[in-house]
Structure 1
Amino acid sequence: MPDFTLRKTMLFIEDIHHDGGPVQTPPRRRAAILALVRNPFAGRYVEDLQSAMDDLKPLGLMMTDRLIEAMGGIDGIDGYGKAGLCGEAGELEHTALWHVPGGYSMRERLGEAKAIVPSSMKVGGVGTRIDIPLGHINAAYVRSHFDAMEVGVPDGPRADELLFALAMSRGARINSRMGGLEVADVKGLDGLR
């Protein structure tokens, strides 16, 4: 069993009242939680990585629970996303360890979430920032929920660390007006529409 020792977590909360147009009441909330963990695969090639995803499931659930709390509860959460950032001694594939523990933790806690959890992955040094893509939880084609939240940690990831991130949102982009599938028209059957 690999050891993903947790060094620290950080929580970011944004309440967006307006974006150059009319004020929105209540404001749109976006929040993200980040965790820095030791990368047990740093500096070496390991063929079988997939089984290590199970070891990260408790981290995914803990981060999801804290994120839901930061959002003020589950009610109204209709956007989500995840990201992984690997320090320089790792490889991009190590960030893919987050797909199941990050994505499925949010889907499990949010209940009826049908859409795939948007994801981004990257390798970078200390202070590198990453965009967490956001999309609607039940229908990938809801344009009003296409968004991203940029996050980073000043002292990570170190060369032998992984940064795992989750994000959630409540509501469409402020003053969204680009058409496409509207939230009221979501069927939520296949995760697309």
Structure 2
Amino acid sequence: MSVNVRKIVVAVEDIWHDGGPPLSEPVRKGYVACVIANPFAGRYEPDIQGFMDDLKPMGLECSKRLVAALGGDVGRIEAYGKGSLVGVNGEIEHGALWHVPGGYAMRELLGQALAIVPSSAKLGAMGTAIDIPIHHKDACYVRSHFDAITAFVADAPRPDELMFVLAMTTGGRPHARVGGLEASAISRWDGQR
């Protein structure tokens, strides 16, 4: 089955401070949203898993676009997340098709990326926003990198569309100070600590 892409949107934030002292270099945080036709909209299809393979090239393309928008250096990416927004003629399970193509694409591009990719999914009308959870790519217990980014595309998803989102950052929250495992103290390299 082919993937019918309508549009790809990339958004990046440069965060210089969050009410505290300005940083010497901003944290860059961004997302890429790919809006595609939902081939299963309007009906129940018992076997949808094969579509994940069709989505894999799109996952890699979206990952590359986001890394480029964040400066082009995969070594600077510290955290990630993903999500799906399903148009109202679809079902939440259609959003779950993004787990493998989105998550593994980021891991493949970033090289070392040991932590599970946090995810969110929901149904929504055109212009609905979705919060994409973010945490450290190598150890999900790095508390300074617990974050989110709100993604939306004004004219998506249409009722028969899917909007797949990837998110990455070059650092944690600008003024993280609530303790927990620090990124510099990752030692187990097990995706958790």
Partner of 2:192, secondary structure, is coil
Aligned CA-pair RMSD: 0.8
CA distance in 2, matches of 1:24, 1:41: 46
1:120 equivalent in structure 2:
120
Q: Deviations over 1:36-59 (max 9, x none)?
A: 000000000011111110000010
The count of residues paired between Structure 1 and Structure 2 equals 192
Shift of 1:76: 1.5
TM-score between the two structures when normalised by the length of structure 1: 0.98
1:28 equivalent in structure 2:
27
Q: Deviations over 1:153-179 (max 9, x none)?
A: 111100000000001001110110010
2:131 equivalent in structure 1:
131
In the TM superposition, 1:150-189 aligns within 5 A as 150-189=150-189
Indicate the percent of aligned positions where both proteins have the same amino acid: 54
Do the aligned residues in 1 keep the contact of 2:8 with 2:34 (CA within 8 Å)?
Answer: yes
Query: What stretches of structure 1 move > 4 A for 4+ residues in a row?
Result: none
2:66 equivalent in structure 1:
67
Partner of 2:30, secondary structure, is strand
2:93 equivalent in structure 1:
93
Shift of 1:60: 0.2
Shift of 1:188: 5.0
Do the aligned residues in 2 keep the contact of 1:114 with 1:188 (CA within 8 Å)?
Answer: no
Structure 2's unaligned 5+ residue stretches are none
TM-score between the two structures when normalised by the length of structure 2: 0.98
Letter of the 1:53 partner, please give it.
M
In the TM superposition, 1:138-157 aligns within 5 A as 138-157=138-157
Shift of 1:189: 2.1
